[in-house]
Structure 1
Amino acid sequence: MASYTVEEFELSQKHEDILGKRALLLQQMEAHYEQQRAKRKQQFLMCQAAKQRNAQILKDLENVEKNLQTRQLLHPNIISLETRYWASVERNLPEWEQYLLGKGQPPLSESEKKLKQQRLKTAQQDPSPAQCRGKPPRPKP
């Protein structure tokens, strides 16, 4: 009979250990459940905010589209100027292409070419003091 009491005591101890582990696991599960609940709530709030932002963006896009459709057409003179401007750009693009690509100097306009030629002519006819390599003139007393 004494052996039963020792076994019962050991079983009782094991039972107590199992109940303690069970209580600990239940607490951990509850904490994990609360974390999951908080995480889901946060995701739900973020989802709602994203839906509101998307709805606002769609509304703005619809307004822009409506404004573009109801926008008045430009005056024919403005359209003509715009067309001539882009034609001019297309005509002059080959001259400017190397400069725009960063591989050369900008092309000179006709007036700049004439000014450069005039400067060369005047420089050849009458050399400036900077081009003369003599001594500077003496100061007057």
Structure 2
Amino acid sequence: MDLLEKHEDILGKRAELLEEMGSRREQLNILRRQQVEEREAARHRNATLLQDLQKIEDGLRGGKLTHPNLLALETRYWVSVEESIPAWEHFLLGKGPHPIDGPGQTARRNKHNPNIGLPPRPKPRAAR
């Protein structure tokens, strides 16, 4: 009798476990389907974004010609940048003084100053 009861108990637990495994398998299948759908939606969204970016790039490349004065200013700017590269290169590599400091001047920039490179703060305005 005891063996029969233990056998029925074991069969009952087995049936419960099989049912739990079946429900867990279904949950995993649902989760996988959701992940696949989310992946496809993300792929579609990314493809759309890439197409939009490509359109923007193409529009910028084939955009309107800028005003001649603006082109002249831009050209002069880049010429001045190229001319000042050697002086700045020595400074940035730590091999020379700051390009603004003259040969007889002491360095105006303190290496320990955390505000180097920042623009000056605006002065407070009086209330009107």
TM over 0.5: yes
Aligned-partner residue type, residue 61 of structure 1: L
Whether 2:36 is the aligned partner of 1:44: answer yes
Aligned match of 1:91: 83
Aligned-partner residue type, residue 15 of structure 2: A
Range with greater deviation from structure 2 (99-108 or 20-29)? 99-108
Whether 2:13 is the aligned partner of 1:21: answer yes
Range with greater deviation from structure 2 (96-105 or 49-58)? 96-105
Q: Any idea what SS the aligned residue of 2:65 has?
A: coil
Looking at CA atoms only, which structure, 1 or 2, has the larger radius of gyration?
Answer: 1
Separation of aligned partners in 2, 1:41 and 1:68:
41
Match of 1:64 among 56, 59, 62: 56
The structural deviation recorded for 1:17 is 3.4
The TM-score normalised by the length of structure 2 is: 0.58
- Among all aligned residue pairs of Structure 1 and Structure 2, give the percentage whose two residues are the same amino acid: 49
Aligned match of 2:66: 74
The structural deviation recorded for 1:71 is 0.4
Higher helix share: 1
CA displacement 1:108-127 (0-9 Å, x = unmatched): 48xx78xx8xxxxxxxxxxx
Separation of aligned partners in 2, 1:38 and 1:16:
33
Alignment size in residue pairs: 104
Unaligned runs of 5+ in 2: 106-128
CA displacement 1:24-52 (0-9 Å, x = unmatched): 22122123213303321331342143124
The TM-score normalised by the length of structure 1 is: 0.54
CA displacement 1:52-87 (0-9 Å, x = unmatched): 421331232132033124301223443333223222
Aligned-partner residue type, residue 98 of structure 1: H
Whether 2:24 is the aligned partner of 1:32: answer yes
Cα RMSD for the two superposed structures: 3.1
User: In 2 relative to 1, CA 108–16 (structure 1 residues): closer, same or farther, beyond 3 Å?
Assistant: closer
Q: Any idea what SS the aligned residue of 2:39 has?
A: helix
